[in-house]
């Protein structure tokens, strides 16, 4: 099992368990898990452990965080824990659980943070091994399942409802086993409090600006127009169905409307593992696909807008924060920006329809002063509410350190 460097400082010892390796971070889930680990490292030693194996031995994290994996690439398959699991749950082998139990004892974790109900089967065995067990709900999965299955016409309404209810029962069991729950937004907190009136504390630990250390904190200069204007950017995990749908709407419906007024407008779609339907979009006029970009910096520094026509799911919300931090104006559906608490018509522009999103883009591109004001407002808001200090404060509260007098 590959290891990073374990910090030597005293304080709260936190172990963060994720399904996929969170370092180096790539997807939105990785970014959240790694960012939370980095924030917790300010208060004591941290171990970041994944159920799945590391693809490679990672470089040492900064700040120093111990990096572990519970599986080894190519090892013989062993039985899984639990005789039955939902599709929403990940398979966890018995050997992975045994390694995790040994690691918890070796590391001496005061707090264990488990990534979502997908790792539900770990909660009961971990319960007696730590003083504080936290469930980090990246999404309220029962609500997300209901959204996704409403759009799935291939399944009956009864089957879609049954899936959502089964996940809701799993969430209820999970909340009964943990000491605290972390959610990404006040909206998710309200959902949980309505669905599950437990006494367990629910802390809002928002998603932070991804790769904040690589972004200048002063507002960057707007991109030059010598490579087309506007350059519209869409970033996301391109095998996630809501993001695939957003890319198709943007390339097939919204961009052509924008080009009626701004014929030089072009669209750049960037992300990991694009499905064939996304690759096909690159054959459309003025549409470019960037697969598996190593870094987003050149794409964001060269973009004039990001448009996010998300109709279901959690999708690319974390990418809204990244775009705003780079000074790229955001136009989106209300669902895409849900939970971020951003101010419509000041920090971003919102519309549910393709026509509305296209009209907003055209008007913003033709109004230099309004575009400048939105860039400034969004940049100030995102660094104040989702920057490293804000996330550090939220993680501290979520660990209950002030309550413990730490």
Average pLDDT value for residue range 248-267: 97
Question: How far apart (Å, rounded) are the C-alpha atoms in residues 307 and 241?
Answer: 17
Reply yes or no on whether the pLDDT at 84 is more than 90.
Answer: no
pLDDT value at position 28?
79
Question: How far apart (Å, rounded) are the C-alpha atoms in residues 318 and 258?
Answer: 25
Q: Which of 82-86, 259-263, 311-315, 394-398 is the least confident region?
A: 311-315
Among left, alpha and beta (phi > 0; psi -120 to 50; other), residue 228 is: left
Three-class secondary structure of residue 103 per DSSP: helix
Question: How far apart (Å, rounded) are the C-alpha atoms in residues 357 and 397?
Answer: 38
pLDDT value at position 1?
34
What DSSP string describes 25-79?
A: --SHHHHHHHHHHHHHTTSS-EEEEESSPPSSPPPPPSS--EEEESS-TTPPP-P
pLDDT value at position 363?
98
**Measured on CA atoms in the order 254, 364, 305, 391, is the torsion positive or negative?**
negative
Residue recorded with tokens 């504080």: 132
The percentage of the chain sitting over the pLDDT mark of 70, rounded to a whole number, equals 89
pTM: 0.86
pLDDT value at position 314?
61
How many Cβ atoms sit within 10 Å of the Cβ of residue 372?
A: 14
Three-class secondary structure of residue 242 per DSSP: helix
Asked: is 14-208+388-398 a CATH 3.40.50.2000 domain? The reply is yes
pLDDT value at position 265?
97
- List Cα–Cα distances, 37 to 59, 123, 136, 198, 397, in angstroms: 16, 19, 12, 27, 14
pLDDT value at position 62?
64
pLDDT band for position 56 (cuts 50, 70, 90): low
Q: Which of 75-89, 126-140, 290-304 is the least confident region?
A: 75-89
pLDDT value at position 227?
80
Q: How high is the mean pLDDT of the chain?
A: 88
Decide: residue 55, CB within 10 A, 0-12 exposed, 13-18 middle, 19+ buried.
Answer: exposed
Whether the Cβ atoms of residue 375 and residue 327 lie closer than 8 Å to each other: yes
pLDDT value at position 404?
56
Whether the Cβ atoms of residue 200 and residue 178 lie closer than 8 Å to each other: yes
Question: How far apart (Å, rounded) are the C-alpha atoms in residues 208 and 320?
Answer: 10
Length of the chain: 406
Question: How far apart (Å, rounded) are the C-alpha atoms in residues 128 and 125?
Answer: 7
DSSP class of residue 400 equals T
Average pLDDT value for residue range 58-79: 81
Phi, psi angle pair for 368, to nearest 5°? -60, -40
| Count of helix runs (H) and strand runs (E) in the chain | 14, 13
Q: Assign a CATH topology to domain 213-386.
A: Rossmann fold (3.40.50)
pLDDT value at position 98?
95
Whether the Cβ atoms of residue 270 and residue 299 lie closer than 8 Å to each other: yes
Of all helices (H) and strands (E), which one includes residue 270? strand 266-271
Residues 205-255: pLDDT tens digits? Answer: 999 998 898 899 999 999 998 888 999 999 988 998 889 999 999 999 999
Reply yes or no on whether the pLDDT at 150 is more than 70.
Answer: no
Delimit the CATH 3.40.50.2000 region(s) of the chain: 14-208+388-398, 213-386
Whether the Cβ atoms of residue 213 and residue 284 lie closer than 8 Å to each other: no
Question: How far apart (Å, rounded) are the C-alpha atoms in residues 228 and 262?
Answer: 10
């Amino acid at each position: 099992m590959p290891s990073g460097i374990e910090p030597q400082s005293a304080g709260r010892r936190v172990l963060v368990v994720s399904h996929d390796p969170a370092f180096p971070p790539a997807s939105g889930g990785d970014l959240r898990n790694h960012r939370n680990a980095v924030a917790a490292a300010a208060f004591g030693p941290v171990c970041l452990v994944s159920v799945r194996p590391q693809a490679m031995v990672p470089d040492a994290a900064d700040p120093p965080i111990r990096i572990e994996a519970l599986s080894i690439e190519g090892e013989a398959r062993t039985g899984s824990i639990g005789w039955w699991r939902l599709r929403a749950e990940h398979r966890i082998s018995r050997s992975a659980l045994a390694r995790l139990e040994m690691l918890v004892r070796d590391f001496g974790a005061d707090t264990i943070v488990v990534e979502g109900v997908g790792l539900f089967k770990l909660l009961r065995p971990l319960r007696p091994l730590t003083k504080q067990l936290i469930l980090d709900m990246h999404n309220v999965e029962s609500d997300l399942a209901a959204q996704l299955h409403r759009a799935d016409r291939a399944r009956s309404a009864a089957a879609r409802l049954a899936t959502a209810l089964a996940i809701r029962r799993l969430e209820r069991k999970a909340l009964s086993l943990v000491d605290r729950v972390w959610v990404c937004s006040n909206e998710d907190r309200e959902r949980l409090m309505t669905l599950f009136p437990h006494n367990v504390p629910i802390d809002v630990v928002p998603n932070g600006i991804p790769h904040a250390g690589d972004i200048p904190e002063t507002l960057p200069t707007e991109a030059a127009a010598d490579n087309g204007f506007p350059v519209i950017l869409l970033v996301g995990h391109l095998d996630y169905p809501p993001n695939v749908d957003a890319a198709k709407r943007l390339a097939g419906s919204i961009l052509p409307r924008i080009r009626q007024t701004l014929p030089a407008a072009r669209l750049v779609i960037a992300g990991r593992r694009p499905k064939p339907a996304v690759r096909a979009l690159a054959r459309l006029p003025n549409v470019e696909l960037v697969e598996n970009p190593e870094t987003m910096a050149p794409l964001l520094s060269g973009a004039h807008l990001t448009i996010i026509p998300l109709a279901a799911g959690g999708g690319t919300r974390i990418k809204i924060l990244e775009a705003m931090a780079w000074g790229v104006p955001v136009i989106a559906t209300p669902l895409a920006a849900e939970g971020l608490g951003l101010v419509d018509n000041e920090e971003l522009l919102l519309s549910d329809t393709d026509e509305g999103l296209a009209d907003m883009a055209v008007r913003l591109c033709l109004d230099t002063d309004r575009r400048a004001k939105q860039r400034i407002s969004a940049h100030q808001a995102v660094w104040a509410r989702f920057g490293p200090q804000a996330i550090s404060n939220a993680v501290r509260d979520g660990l209950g350190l002030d309550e413990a007098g730490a």
